[in-house]
Amino acid sequence: MALQKNDFPILEYDTSLSSIFNFKKTASPLPPKAVYGFLGSCIDDFARSCEASISGEIKTITKDYPIYTVNYKGEEICFCQAPMGAPAAVQNLEHLIHNGVRHIVSAGSCGVLFDIQENEFMVPVRALRDEGSSYKYLPPSRYIELDMPMTEHICRTLSEKGIGFRSCTTWTTDGLFRETPETVTCRRSEGCDTVDMECASLAACAKLRGADFGMLFFTADSLADINNYDERDFGTASLVPALSLCLDIISSYSPPKQGKR
């Protein structure tokens, strides 16, 4: 039996890859390289500035998400705005993957659990799975390792550009308003540096689907002082630089040969 039963439904895992719900196909396959950004209006602004073509659209009950394609430094790249929250973000990632995307770099803000300045770049190498979506894609575990080649390439590209960054363990949670003082203290004690809402789920989806995924964070609000939450400026100054970096990262990426992953 593919479905592994558990007293707690969130811990039940189905090994079957078949799905009742079908994915809508774009008119033509998407380029294999993609930037998937939690970057607000920057995605649409960049598309307009470079006159990117629209290769498809992800239609949802909330809004529609254009999938843009542009030739960037000699590479065909598609890019798409990512919606906040793991279920929505994974849903759209599935559409990209099922339409030909195989190599994805994502970028977005994160909260910090320690005294780390705003607008610093962080590269998550593992994520604590305190959300629900990842459990539909991989068997239950406390962490997921972001050990795909894209993560290594992100770190290498930042180093080559002389851009400072830190590797980190992130706490992925879908309970934005349940980040309680005791929970934050607990997450710190087990080595989490940052908090986000999507990383673990996106990594799990990519692993199940055989796609290569990596994440670039920029630091935003701070939970370092649990008695004085500091929203700061939510990393606004990093939105445009993060998109530019992602385009450079994905355009320079050379996928490993089959069997070398």
The per-residue pLDDT for 259 is 52
Whole-model pTM? 0.96
Q: What is the mean pLDDT of residues 196-216?
A: 98
Task: Decide yes or no: CATH 3.40.50.1580 for domain 30-251.
Answer: yes
- Distance between CA 99 and CA 17 in Å, rounded? 16
Q: Please report, rounded to a whole number, the percentage of residues in the chain having pLDDT higher than 90.
A: 93
* 145: pLDDT strictly greater than 90: yes
Helix, strand, coil abundance in the chain, percent, nearest 5: 30, 30, 40
The per-residue pLDDT for 24 is 83
H/E element, 218: strand 212-222
**Burial of 9 per CB tally in 10 Å (0-12, 13-18, 19+):** exposed
User: Do residues 174 and 197 make contact, with C-beta atoms less than 8 angstroms apart?
Assistant: yes
User: So where are the chain's domains?
Assistant: 30-251
In the chain, the N- to C-terminal Cα span, in Å, equals 30
Give residue-wise pLDDT tens across range 13-72.
999 988 898 778 998 999 999 999 999 999 999 999 999 999 999 999 999 999 999 999
